[in-house]
Structure 1
Amino acid sequence: MQLKSISYIKVGDYLRSINKPCDKKHNSLFTWGHSLWQYLLSKFVEPTMDTWEMAIATLNTFICLQVVIHDKILYVANYHMPCFCQIPDLMEIHSSVVKDLMFELEAGHNFILTGDFNIKPMKICYRILTEKVSDVNLLPESNIYEISYRPNTDQILKSVYREKNGVEPVYTNDRDVPKSPHFCATLDYIFFEGHLTVEKVLELPDQPMSESYLDETHPSDHLLIATSFRLL
């Protein structure tokens, strides 16, 4: 295997580069009206931030390697999705953008995308990654940016565990910390696309072996997931 290149992309910076700020000069009346509305609203409810502004402010970095195996190009990428489950619109933005960014970088070659995506199977963010869903077209509007990004719903990913076993693992994350109730769910995935065949996946337990991870045998609150591919 030969390493050809490594790309580091801060997804927030990428979002900023493809969506320009609103032209305040031409939207002065709208801006004044919106500011007045926000001021009046703040007197009764807690003010909210613009979801796109929050998505752009994240520091999460997308890492992508281009390697050559037996004269065939393969892209291998990793992303740790921001954990904003209480703001589903932000999670949907990142899910859609990271998927489309992966397809843009690989330019028709085989690829593998892994990571802690902080999303549960069959929720809307998971469906954005793995299904041709129309829901993704309902990304939030912005009062700060002119959103030029348009999701490509024809581009979807396959999950190795779902391909091999028919379902995702029962759980990949188990934790119990003072600020959070006991949490046990699947958050980690290995996605792929192209001329790749899943030969086997690492078998995972159906239930936690202890009250919560970390423990003596689990150095992380996430389980190790793994797979073997055959490159066609």
Structure 2
Amino acid sequence: MSSSLCEPDFYTNSDPEALDPDARLVRVLAKLEGEITSRSIICLQEISRTWSGELHTFFAQRGYHYVHSAYGGQKNGFMGVSVAFPISEYDLTSTLIDRVATFKEWPRPPAPGRLSRLGSALVRMYRRIRKQKAPIDPWRDAMNRHNCLVCARLVHKASGKPFHLATYHMPCQFWVPSVMTIHAALVQQRLHQLAGEEPLIWCGDFNVMPGDGPYQLITEGSLDPEHEAFPPPRSHDEWEPTVPMALTSAYKQKAGDEPAFTNWAQTRGSPPFIGTLDYVFMSEGCRAVELSPAPTTMPREDGVARGGQLKGALKGMYGGPFPTTEEPSDHLMVGATVELP
């Protein structure tokens, strides 16, 4: 979504005319107008600082309160996540904006002994000679992430019912999925502390597919320690990626399955990707009564596997990869009308 991450040399298989930041913003706002007409609550991810200023004005002029947290760097336009809601429909009683990596302590490992230091030095020397990169430490990587969570406690004025609405953009570390497991657990633990027995809705770009480890943790409430996405244990750290509750996907509950895909993109040096990465999760007792339209089937030509090469039939049917002049983001918009308990 970020206006700074949409150059023609990055999205190499998209029409350059569809990538112009100003034109994309116009298309994004046009999509949001429809949701504003319905007085929807809106959650956004990858919003650049440039677009955030425009969105503050856009929402204020339409009677919306806009909460934004920017945590990115110059390369991605200092992007962040946002929540916007109509003040005629909801009262805001509290807001959390915080960096997820601060939700736990990160104890230092014990100092290595002399033999251990010597062994590490030899390994580093070997890697330099072989021009190999050291493997990513998922704990250190998770600790160094700046991704922020936005959570608002809202009260629906007509019914008087309170609920918590959160949005998050998961670190894109599918090659080290345990990083995302750590962050999924940190967010879910914190949301449980905030919401308690009150209803919770958590929306966002989770960067995980249905069935992936972090998705299992969120929706089933646990993850097998033998799973590849479960982080390696640390003897000096008692914290574990466990969650106090399982959440339900609005699409899975109402439609019986997740959308066939919510993301379709091809970036420089990578094969095309198509898959489901975006979700609306709800706590127990919430009921999805209506869903925003989303693809229900994966169009195929001789079969298209997860993340596999996309065939001409796909491009002709959906006009992707995104962004396009019809879809200003590489992600499709998902949403649900939720009945609170």
TM-score range, shorter chain: 0.7 to 0.9
Structure 1 residue 160 displacement after superposition: 0.3
Give a deviation string over 1:158-202, Cα, whole Å, max 9, x none.
000000111111000001122321010000000010332110111
Deviation at 1:129, TM superposition (A): 0.8
Give the C-alpha shift of residue 68 in structure 1: 1.0
Is 2:247 aligned against 1:157?
yes
Deviation at 1:90, TM superposition (A): 1.0
Residue type of the alignment partner of 2:331:
H
For 2:232, the equivalent position in structure 1 comes to 140
Q: Does 1:44 align with 2:153?
A: no
For residue 186 of structure 2, give the secondary structure of its aligned residue in structure 1. helix
Across the aligned residues of Structure 1 and Structure 2, the Cα RMSD in angstroms comes to 2.0
8 Å CA contact 2:254, 2:288 repeated in 1:
yes
Whether the aligned pair in 1 keeps the contact of 2:322 and 2:329 (CA below 8 Å) is yes
Is the Cα–Cα contact under 8 Å of residues 92 and 136 in structure 1 kept in the other structure?
no
1:35 pairs with 117, 125, 143, which one?
Answer: 117
CA distance in 2, matches of 1:192, 1:44: 49
TM-score (norm. length: structure 2): 0.61
Q: TM-score, with normalisation over the residues of structure 1?
A: 0.88
- Which position in structure 1 is the counterpart of 2:326? 217
- Structure 1's unaligned 5+ residue stretches are none
* Cα 1:216–1:101 shift into 2, 3 Å: same
Are the counterparts in 2 of residues 4 and 66 from structure 1 also a CA contact under 8 Å? yes
Residues 189 and 136 of structure 1, relative CA distance in 2, 3 Å threshold: farther
Gaps of 5+ in 2: 1-89, 128-132, 300-313
Alignment partners' CA distance in 1, 2:141 and 2:117: 18
Q: Which has the larger radius of gyration?
A: 2
Counterpart CA distance in 1 for 2:101 and 2:225 is 19
Alignment size in residue pairs? 223
Distance 1:180 1:12, change over 3 A: same
- Contact 2:170-2:207 within 8 A present in 1 as well: yes
How big is the shift at 1:9? 1.4
Percent of counterpart pairs with the same letter? 27
* 210-219 vs 97-106, which moves further: 97-106
1:67 is matched by which residue type in structure 2?
L
Which has more strand, going by share of residues?
1
